[in-house]
Amino acid sequence: MSKETDLTDVREATERIAASLITISSALEDIVRTLSTSAGKKVGSDLRQAKAVGQFTVLSAMSELKKHAKTPETPAPKITLEAKIKMPKEKKPTPPTCISNYVDLTAAQIVPLVASLTPEERAEVLAYEKATRERKTILAALKKAT
C-alpha cells in the first residue's frame, strides 16, 4: 500500500468522523432546545463550544493531510537482483608481497623492514596501509624512508 493510498484512507476516515460529529452535535442541540432550564442553557453553551473546537480540530487535521499529500516522500529506489549482479564488487586490497606474512605482522615488526624496501615496495605498503588499517607508525616510517 502506497503512502498516497494511506493519506486517502485517512482523509476519508477524517471526513466520515467530522460528518458524524456534526450530526451528533446537531441532534444534541435539538434536545437542549427543548430544555428550558438554566442547566439546559449551560449544556447548550458547552455543546456549541465543543462543536467549534471539534470543527477546528478536524479542519486543522484536513489541512495537515493536504500538505502531506502535496509533498509525498520519494521512496528509495529498489535494488533488483539484476542490479546487484551488475554492481562491481569492492576489491579487497592485496597485502604487499615484498614482506612475507604482512597481514600477520604487527606494526612494530614491519617498521624496521621499511628502510630496506625499494621505492616501489614502499609504495605498495603505503597503498595497502591507506586502504586498510592506516597504522600511524608504519605510515610515519614510510614517510621518513622517502
Q: Domain-by-domain residue ranges, the chain?
A: 3-70, 102-145
Give the closest residue to 50 by CA, choosing from 65, 19, 28: 28
131 has a pLDDT exceeding 60? yes
* Distance, CA of 84 to CA of 30 (rounded, Å): 67
pTM: 0.40
pLDDT at residue 137 greater than cutoff 80: yes
Tens-place pLDDT, residues 11-27: 777 777 767 767 776 67
Q: What is the pLDDT of residues 71-124, one digit of tens each?
A: 555 566 666 655 555 555 667 888 999 999 999 999 999 999 999 999 999 999
Per-chain mean pLDDT for the chain: 76
Which residue do the cell numbers 489541512 mark?
A: 63
Give the per-residue pLDDT at 53.
73
Contacts of 126 (CB under 8 A, 6+ apart): 139, 142
Confidence of residue 5 (pLDDT cuts 50, 70, 90): low
* pLDDT band at residue 34 under the 50/70/90 scheme: low
46-76: per-residue pLDDT in tens? 777 777 777 777 777 777 776 766 555 556 6
